[in-house]
Chain A
Amino acid sequence: MSNPSSGPETQARALAPSAPAVVPAHCPHTLAFHATSYRRFLWKVVCDATDGSAWFYAWMILLTAFALTGLHAWAVQVRDGLVVTGLSDHVSWGLYIANFTFMVGLAAGGVMMVIPAYLYHDHEMHDLTIVGELLAVAAIVMSICFVVVDMGRPERFWHMFPVVGRFNFPVSMLTWDVLVLNGYLGLNLHICGYLLYMRFRGERPNPRWYVPFVYLSIFWAISIHTVTAFLYSGLGGRPLWNTALLAPRFLVTAFIAGPAFIIVLLFALRRFGGMRLTERPVQVLVNIVRVTLLINLLMVASELFTDLYSGGAHTASVHYLFFGLHGANALVPWIWSAVAMGLASAVMFLRPGVVGHPVWLTLACVLAFVGIWIEKGMGLIVPAFIPSTLHEIVEYFPSLVEWQVMAGIWAWGLLILTVMLKIALPILRQPHPVVP
């Protein structure tokens, strides 16, 4: 993040170029005008993204180092094969797909900012929706990266393109996922890019060019996580996934992880980015997490009841996950820590005064976030493969390469998020939010 002391200076730069006065909405410009103006905007974006305090550079260098380490691990994996992971024919998806699933949720959760702002006309939230949408962009890029690193032949990605490849639409859920993820990425890039460009121009954004897209993005956010849930719940051979509750559970966990991340992010932006932050948006986000945390616990308990009360062979994965099976119990510590984190964060969030205690609130958010990450990964993707469809028990332990690649993609995502926020912050620091 940029140094707080450089705030006014950056702000001055932000306001400086070309248009000094606010031009009324619907004021037409020629294409030639935009060609020049947009070039100036892009140049400012590049300058803002690469200029900052020593802390900013240190942070970026750290993230780059992690990202490059991950890139190297992935290059080794492509050369030597996925044999360098802990995966096998029995457990054929692991850490990568777990993170992919979680990231789709984070992206969907990012728009929880948008719903109060636009559906309920909460104008105080408008500025912060950009933060949520930028998070969604970074999270979608990360989820796509997690799919790519999971591919055995990543260079053949073009086989998935319509026309040149063979796009198995509408039969394969994975093709639906490709469509909704890329569509969501495009939507959010358009909304953020348009609003920031208009701010840069000092003009009032034309609602026609972004409000319909904002509403579309709300429905689209739900679609990305529903489609991702259908990837799994449509498989009759995997009883752990083959449940109608999976899509609702995905949405609910998304609306825990997304707002929890944004709360912490807003605190960080106030601390390091000099962003104005009133209590109200945080209060709205806390209310969302309060409700969704409890719904999630209820859903987990409901599924556990169905599985454990009735019993039978199709509940073997749940037994393995929570209690171990025939002496194999690698996932037991994971899931119980997720349960503990979920319960602890629920208790902390339910305290009426939690909004007034940033440290406790941050801790509660981190617990909720990590708890969901485990539940979606080690608690959902991996146990569906254990025992296998022929009831063999082969356990899964992520290899060092997988952890490196994962850390690399997380660093890459944070790098993208940092750069985007760095560009957006000078604009967000302006005294008056643009109200459409």
Chain B
Amino acid sequence: MNRRTALKAIGATLGAAAFAQAIAPLTQWTEDLTIDDYLQKHYKELSPFDLGVVMARMEKETKEATGVDVHIGDYRPQPGVKFGYALNLSVCVGCRRCAKACHVENNHDRPSGNSYIRVLEMQKGSLDLAKGRVNYDHAVPDAEKFYMPVQCQQCDKPPCVSVCPVEATWKEADGIVVVDYNWCIGCRYCEAACPYHARRFNWKKPEVPAAEINPDQGYLSNRLRPQGVMEKCTFCLHRSRQGKLPACLEACPTGARVFGNLLDPESEIRWVLKNKRVFVLKEDVGTQPSFFYFFDV
């Protein structure tokens, strides 16, 4: 062996050592990643039995990590139901209890105060979002303003769904756009595509103190989310698909929120659509929302 070859061998060894050192954090990260997690199939490809196994595994993992007994259910759309939401801008006072209730119900990250709902304080006489503010901190309501909560509009033509390269997000039969947290690759293209700022990314693993974890969870809704995936409002499908109302509606002190089945002519939401002055947000972008705003007058 000549000197040059020896030097090359030393260089290659040093390089390999430096490489191992550089990727060391990856080995710390993979400690939490089981082979079952890694190879888990798309929600739609799991048989009811497999899904049961997966949910049991997730409940067990939550128990081990937090000590909390949670129940994860798989709630499917009911036949003959298409959900719609309507919001009365004449009575909304901008108290943001809906946003708070969403935060608690959906096991959001506590330090960031995450919520699927943002409440805009709007200038009277304008629907220009540029004239609204979300970070107001005075007593509400301000007589010069009106208030417009914005959350996922569950569009009939959702741009977030079309752009997803791996079909990790889709629209269900009852109109709710969902995310499979175990299939999302975290590219955030859906977040760029959404015209309503309705999607939230898990920039880090969400932190919820054990005592505050909501144990009633849905596989496609409020179960504890992994790091690095997208999530969004699901009209609280773990509640609404069982005949209950979304948490934001229950929390609203003024009755500004109306939720129901658009296919049922007797429903309250159908009455609102028929009798009130209704509009949808950003109609011009062609997303066809199932979320309606209305005024009493």
- In the complex, the number of residue pairs spanning A and B with C-beta atoms less than 8 Å apart equals 173
Determine the distance from Cα of A61 to Cα of B10 in the docked complex, in whole angstroms.
13
Is the Cβ of A175 less than 8 Å from the Cβ of B165?
yes
The answer, yes or no, to whether B49 is at the interface (CB within 8 Å) is no
The 4 A-B pairs of least Cβ separation, nearest first, read A152-B186, A237-B195, A152-B228, A81-B204
List chain A residues, Cβ under 8 A from B150.
390
List chain B residues, Cβ under 8 A from A392.
134, 197
Determine the distance from Cα of A91 to Cα of B226 in the docked complex, in whole angstroms.
21
Determine the distance from Cα of A76 to Cα of B24 in the docked complex, in whole angstroms.
9
List chain A residues, Cβ under 8 A from B229.
152-153
Is the Cβ of A159 less than 8 Å from the Cβ of B166?
yes
A180 to chain B, nearest CB (A): 13
B residues lining the A interface (CB < 8 Å) = 4, 8, 11, 15, 18-19, 21-26, 28-29, 33, 38, 42, 118, 120, 128-130, 132, 134, 150, 159, 162-168, 183-189, 191-197, 199-205, 226-230, 282, 285-287
**A/B interface sample: 16 pairs, CB < 8 A:** A64-B15, A64-B18, A81-B203, A83-B203, A93-B188, A151-B185, A151-B228, A152-B188, A152-B230, A155-B33, A159-B42, A167-B165, A237-B282, A313-B130, A390-B132, A392-B134
Query: With A80-B204, A82-B203, A313-B128 known to touch, is A50 a contact of B194 (CB < 8 Å)?
Result: no
Is the Cβ of A78 less than 8 Å from the Cβ of B194?
no
Is the Cβ of B187 less than 8 Å from the Cβ of A151?
yes
Whose C-beta in chain B lies nearest to the C-beta of A87? B203
List chain A residues, Cβ under 8 A from B28.
79
Whose C-beta in chain A lies nearest to the C-beta of B162? A171
Residues of A in contact with B, size category: 35 or more
List chain A residues, Cβ under 8 A from B184.
152-153, 156
Query: With A78-B26, A156-B183 known to touch, is A235 a contact of B192 (CB < 8 Å)?
Result: yes
* A153 CB contact (under 8 Å) in B8, B167, B185, B191: B185
* A390 CB contact (under 8 Å) in B21, B159, B196, B205: B196
Determine the distance from Cα of A51 to Cα of B194 in the docked complex, in whole angstroms.
52
Flag A66-106 by CB within 8 Å of B: 1 or 0 each.
00110110011011111101011110110000000000000
Is the Cβ of B130 less than 8 Å from the Cβ of A391?
yes
B272 to chain A, nearest CB (A): 24
A342 to chain B, nearest CB (A): 26
Determine the distance from Cα of A155 to Cα of B29 in the docked complex, in whole angstroms.
11
Query: With A151-B185, A390-B134 known to touch, is A236 a contact of B195 (CB < 8 Å)?
Result: yes
* B164 CB contact (under 8 Å) in A71, A172, A385, A389: A172
List chain B residues, Cβ under 8 A from A172.
162-165, 189
Question: Which residues of chain A (26-75) have a CB below 8 Å from chain B?
Answer: 50-51, 57, 61, 64, 68-69, 71-72, 75
* B22 CB contact (under 8 Å) in A71, A79, A153, A387: A71
Determine the distance from Cα of A57 to Cα of B164 in the docked complex, in whole angstroms.
44
* A159 CB contact (under 8 Å) in B130, B183, B204: B183
* B130 CB contact (under 8 Å) in A61, A231, A387: A387
* A168 CB contact (under 8 Å) in B29, B33, B167, B282: B167
Is the Cβ of B197 less than 8 Å from the Cβ of A68?
no
* A72 CB contact (under 8 Å) in B25, B183, B203: B25
List chain A residues, Cβ under 8 A from B286.
236
Is the Cβ of B164 less than 8 Å from the Cβ of A168?
yes
List chain A residues, Cβ under 8 A from B132.
390-391
List chain A residues, Cβ under 8 A from B166.
156, 159-160, 165-168
